[in-house]
Amino acid sequence: MSYTAFQGHTKIASGNLTEVSSFLKDKRPDDFLVFDDAGRQIDLDVRGVQSEPPSDPARGRGRPRLGVVAREVTLLPRHWDWLNSQPGGASVALRKLVEEARRTRGDSDRVRAAQEAAYRFLNAIAGNLPGFEEALRALFAYDRRRFADLIAGWPQDIRDHAIQLAFADQDPSGVERV
């Protein structure tokens, strides 16, 4: 995961958590905002250099070596009945349903995640810029050209980062990358 730091409307650092923390170590926390790849603003303690947050290793039930993690799912009794009647049982049926949904809805899920990332970023840093609400409407309509037109007068670093978050799957002509 990469992180991007802004001081006001200017991008001042980008990279992994250690790189961004090292760059910001002499700055006052009130002087910058840091965002992750999902557009979430994060609190960064720059008094000491940090490393990437540790991943949560699989523990307990499941097959940790395969990356299987046991979690709780709440369903109605009729759903459990149907799942248990499927070949291989509930776990196999759920895995198949999830994989099928990922295949058929993968593109729309990526678009939605990109829109949400751009929204979180813009909401935190650009809420007072002119045309903010209209730009969000264009963002959620997935209208790249209108979005770019509406934010054309905004500071360049804000514009560039918002477009990167929202439309990373497309080239500037609006054609999706393959």
% of the chain surpassing 90 pLDDT: 46
* pLDDT score recorded for residue 175: 38
Give the model's pLDDT for residue 12: 93
Strand, helix or coil at 25?
Answer: coil
Which pLDDT belongs to residue 50?
46
pLDDT at 98: 87
Stretch 91-96: mean pLDDT: 88
User: Average pLDDT over the chain, rounded to whole?
Assistant: 83
For 28-150, list the strands marked E by DSSP. 33-36, 41-42
CA distance 18 to 48: 10
pLDDT for 131 equals: 95
Cβ partners under 8 Å of residue 139, min gap 6 = 115, 118, 119, 122, 147, 166
Closest CA to 35 of 56, 26, 24: 24
The DSSP symbol for 129 reads S
Give the Cα separation of 166 and 106 in Å (integer). Answer: 16
Looking at residue 7, its amino acid is Q
Question: Could you read off the pLDDT of 48-80 as tens digits, one per residue?
Answer: 544 455 555 545 555 667 777 777 888 899 998
DSSP string of 46-60, one letter each residue: TTS---PPPP----S
d(CA 93, CA 88): 7
The Cβ-side half-sphere exposure at 47, using a 13 Å CA radius, reads: 1
Q: Which of 28-42, 119-133, 159-173 has the highest mean pLDDT?
A: 119-133
Query: Is the pLDDT assigned to residue 163 strictly greater than 80?
Result: yes
Kindly list the distances between the CA atom of residue 82 and the CA atoms of 41, 58, 62, 98, in Å, as whole numbers in the listed order.
Answer: 42, 28, 22, 16
- The reported pLDDT for the residue numbered 115 is 95
Q: What is the pLDDT of residues 96-131, one digit of tens each?
A: 988 888 888 778 888 999 999 999 999 999 999 999
Contact in structure between 1 and 52 (CB atoms under 8 Å): yes
